[in-house]
Amino acid sequence: MRRSILEGGVHRFPSLITTVLLIICVSKPGYTQDLFFDAKGVRLRYVEQGKGEPIVLLHGVGGNLQAWFDAGVFQNLAADYRVIAMDARGHGKSAKPHDPKQYGSQMALDVVRLLDHLSIKKAHIVGYSMGGNTTSQLLTMQPERFLTATLLAGSGRFKWTKEDGATAELEASEREKECVSRTLIFRLSPAGGPKPSEEDIKQRSLACFADPNQDRFAIAALTRARPDTFIPPAKAVAVKVPTLGIVGNLDGADVLSGFQTLKNLRPNIKLVIVDGATHAGDRGVMRRAEFISALREFLIAHRQTSQR
């Protein structure tokens, strides 16, 4: 009998995906109404659907809540849970301040503000990439608000050096000039694979400029706020919220090492490594059936002890 994906510390999925799981993962039966709330003076967009224990979904940098629909994740979970997805400040249809002080830890607190707005005492939370980093920080700030946490391709930021600061400033400057950051694109490229060409980066830049939901100055401000997302290792160690980490084995080296750091700090986290999955794109881990399967098994495992 196959060992449960949640037994032990780390499990690697095979690259073969069953037809049933593929159907579950890509099924996309519709959209839902845009809603807005005030997050300490910043207007933020969210959507919700379904009934049951609440789950909050946080997207990645430069994206918006539509990513969860495109991957079929929102619809899948809404069949059994009350699912809430939000556009982070600086993204999508949410307000886009240009002051770095409006980002950083404020993005984590926005999740709590949303829960308060909806009168939700506790929720599950799932964050992808930037959303995973936000979730990891949030667990050290207000852990009592969360039933479980799932970190997808983003483990948190557990160090901050002068080199990290220089990289953040370089990426912010690239955003202001090209709307995309070539440094970030290379950093998140599949490990061991070919790097994006100049033509590919040019096309991404043109698409970014053409997207009315993109504000390059807001994303630059967010990037410059990275020091405020640093998580002291001692605070990470103290987190007791049940946590699942999921990452593709072809993700960028920085992302993979971040999960190893978190696993060293918190050996009790469940870590699932998806073979053949990248950070984003057609092979991105969010689109893989192994992700939704692991997430559902994790949520079910903690359903009996959860309280709203």
CATH number at residue 92: 3.40.50.1820
pLDDT digits (tens, 9 = 90+) for 104-159: 999 999 999 999 999 999 999 999 999 999 999 999 999 999 999 999 999 999 99
Asked whether the predicted pLDDT for residue 32 surpasses 50, the reply is: yes
Q: What pLDDT, on the 0 to 100 scale, is given for residue 304?
A: 55
Q: What pLDDT, on the 0 to 100 scale, is given for residue 270?
A: 96
Percent above pLDDT 70 for the chain:
88
pLDDT digits (tens, 9 = 90+) for 180-215: 999 999 988 876 778 889 999 999 999 999 999 999
Q: Which of 17-31, 95-109, 243-257 has the least mean pLDDT?
A: 17-31
Range of the domain at 64: 10-161+226-301
Q: Which of 24-28, 210-214, 216-220, 299-303 has the least mean pLDDT?
A: 24-28
Mean pLDDT of 32-53: 96
* Bridge partner residues of 270 (DSSP): 244
Which phi and psi (to 5°) does residue 101 adopt? -65, -15
Strand locations in 185-284 (E): 243-248, 270-274
Specify the number of domains making up the chain.
1
pLDDT band at 4 (very low <50, low <70, confident <90, very high): very low
Asked whether the predicted pLDDT for residue 12 surpasses 60, the reply is: no
Nearest CA among 257, 260, 288 for reference residue 275 = 288
Note whether residue 194 is domain-resident.
no
Exposure of 123 in the CB half-sphere (CA atoms within 13 A): 25
Render 62-118 in DSSP notation, one character per residue. T--THHHHHTTHHHHHHTTSEEEEEPPTTSTTS-----GGGSTHHHHHHHHHHHHHT
Note whether residue 28 is domain-resident.
yes
Instruction: Provide the 8-state DSSP code for 222.
Output: H
Note whether residue 277 is domain-resident.
yes
Structure token digits, residue 34 = 């845009």
Note whether residue 107 is domain-resident.
yes
Asked whether the predicted pLDDT for residue 13 surpasses 50, the reply is: no
Mean pLDDT of 239-253: 96
Note whether residue 278 is domain-resident.
yes
User: Higher model confidence: residue 27 or residue 43?
Assistant: 43
Is there a contact between 168 and 130 (Cβ–Cβ < 8 Å)?
Answer: no
Note whether residue 16 is domain-resident.
yes
Asked whether the predicted pLDDT for residue 15 surpasses 60, the reply is: no
Q: What pLDDT, on the 0 to 100 scale, is given for residue 190?
A: 79
Note whether residue 197 is domain-resident.
no
Q: What is the mean pLDDT of the chain?
A: 90
pLDDT band at 258 (very low <50, low <70, confident <90, very high): very high
Query: Three-class SS of residue 191?
Result: coil
Structure token digits, residue 50 = 């379904």
Q: Residue 72, class by beta-carbon neighbours within 10 Å (0-12 exposed, 13-18 middle, 19+ buried)?
A: buried
Asked whether the predicted pLDDT for residue 11 surpasses 90, the reply is: no
Note whether residue 216 is domain-resident.
no
Is there a contact between 136 and 156 (Cβ–Cβ < 8 Å)?
Answer: yes
pLDDT digits (tens, 9 = 90+) for 280-291: 999 999 999 999
Query: Three-class SS of residue 141?
Result: helix
Q: What pLDDT, on the 0 to 100 scale, is given for residue 17?
A: 38
Instruction: Provide the 8-state DSSP code for 196.
Output: P
Q: What pLDDT, on the 0 to 100 scale, is given for residue 31?
A: 58
Asked whether the predicted pLDDT for residue 303 surpasses 90, the reply is: no
Mean pLDDT of 162-191: 94
Q: Which of 13-22, 190-199, 252-261, 290-299 has the least mean pLDDT?
A: 13-22
Q: What pLDDT, on the 0 to 100 scale, is given for residue 23?
A: 36
pLDDT digits (tens, 9 = 90+) for 85-94: 999 999 999 9
Q: Residue 32, class by beta-carbon neighbours within 10 Å (0-12 exposed, 13-18 middle, 19+ buried)?
A: middle
Is there a contact between 273 and 12 (Cβ–Cβ < 8 Å)?
Answer: yes
Is there a contact between 128 and 60 (Cβ–Cβ < 8 Å)?
Answer: yes
Is there a contact between 31 and 49 (Cβ–Cβ < 8 Å)?
Answer: no
Q: What pLDDT, on the 0 to 100 scale, is given for residue 74?
A: 98
